[in-house]
Amino acid sequence: MSKIQEITRESWILSTFPEWGTWLNEEIEQEVVPEGNFAMWWLGCVGVWIKTPGGANLCMDLWCGRGKSTKQVKDMVRGHQMANMAGVRKLQPNLRAAPMVLDPFAINEVDFILASHYHSDHIDVNVAAAIVNNPKLDHVKFVGPWHCAELWKKWGVPEERIIVVKPGDVVKLKDVEIHALDSFDRTCLVTLPVEGAEEQGGELAGLCPSDEEMGRKAVNYVFKTPGGNIYHGADSHFSIQFAKHGKQFDIDVALNNYGENPVGIADKMTSVDLLRMAESLRCKVIIPVHHDIWTNFMASTDEIIQLWKMRKERLQYKFHPFIWEVGGKYVYPRDKDLIEYHHPRGFDDCFEHEPNIQFKSML
């Protein structure tokens, strides 16, 4: 049989996806975090992997799915947050723009799988299956707010492996202390299920949300590590309550969603919002995430850098932005002064062996 006759659509997919294979899985496993630091990798969307000197491995909001993949479906599902928000019906063209950099079925070491909220690009049935069906990972706990816990249970995650958190809760793991905080994800508040909406046929008009309802839907996290404290706001919008969190915690690195909102939509942080958030949190580094993933929300991070330069002297900013790349590693405080990331360029061993060329001035 010829080579091309052996190749099928299935063999092509298996040989190509995930695009990074197990490269990043292996990198994370092999990483020895220096004392007094933490290491962090961006997994796409707002997903991050955090590793500490004490060997704690935390995986938050890992999403291994895809966005829209066909035009045959014309309308949004009723109750979708964007449909509720703006009265739209046309299917949004949110195609996945970032590669899949981590293979969930090749995870060999992890302690907690965390979720910030139950939107489908932040909690993943594939990740749950990869963890639960791996006997080597039977110690792993799933950590998230009530709605995430209900989703995990529906998928088949054993209840005893789920830790439900609400704002104010603290969970400890090895050399990490995880604090669940109030989320400011107002998009989540207009996503069904909404308390009282079922009795009104799914209509939200006249319903008053509460702090308790938000706490069941979404949380922000602070990770207190030996290398510093990480604040993850996930899909939060700007809130003056960031200033409260900034006084509650000594925050070193903060992450939050960023993107260019289509007309009629208020879902992602703007560059101004992100800088105001950093100032309010009194953090040292602010990292935008989520701008990578959806084709219809992509935004230039140059805008953040230029705006920061315009404002930092007048407003006496004590922080700076860090512009990351999906799959990239960030070690803090080792990398604390970096402004922009570049993937390792390789070839550092050049001329350690004799080149194999015809003559020296060939190139």
| H-helix or E-strand spanning residue 279 | helix 271-281
Q: Which two tokens stand for residue 305?
A: 């850098």
- Report if residue 40 sits inside a domain: yes
- Report if residue 359 sits inside a domain: no
- Report if residue 338 sits inside a domain: no
- Report if residue 7 sits inside a domain: no
Nearest to 259 by CA among 220, 288, 302, 219: 288
**Per residue in 153-186, is it b (16+ CB within 10 Å) or e — as a string?**
eeeebeeebbbbbbbebebebebbebbbbbbbbb
Q: Are 167 and 181 in contact (CB under 8 A)?
A: yes
Tell how far CA 130 is from the center of its chain: 18
The count of structural domains within the chain is: 1
Tell how far CA 148 is from the center of its chain: 15
pLDDT tens track of the chain, all 363 residues?
789 999 999 999 999 999 999 999 999 999 999 999 999 999 999 999 999 999 999 999 999 999 999 999 888 887 889 999 999 999 999 999 999 999 999 999 999 999 999 999 999 999 999 999 999 999 999 999 999 999 999 999 999 999 999 999 999 999 999 999 999 999 999 999 999 999 999 999 999 999 999 999 999 999 999 999 999 999 999 999 999 999 999 999 999 999 999 999 999 999 999 999 999 999 999 999 999 999 999 999 999 999 999 999 999 999 999 999 999 999 999 999 999 999 999 999 999 999 999 998 889
- Report if residue 224 sits inside a domain: yes
| H-helix or E-strand spanning residue 225 | strand 219-225
Q: What whole-number distance in Å separates Cα of residue 109 and Cα of residue 297?
A: 33
- Report if residue 356 sits inside a domain: no
pLDDT of residue 133: 98
The residues that bridge with 257 in the sheet, in sequence order, are 289
The one-letter amino acid at 266: A
pLDDT of residue 78: 77
- Report if residue 299 sits inside a domain: yes
| Domain CATH code at residue 96 | 3.60.15.10
- Report if residue 283 sits inside a domain: yes
Residue-number span of the structural domain to which 158 is assigned? 18-66+76-332
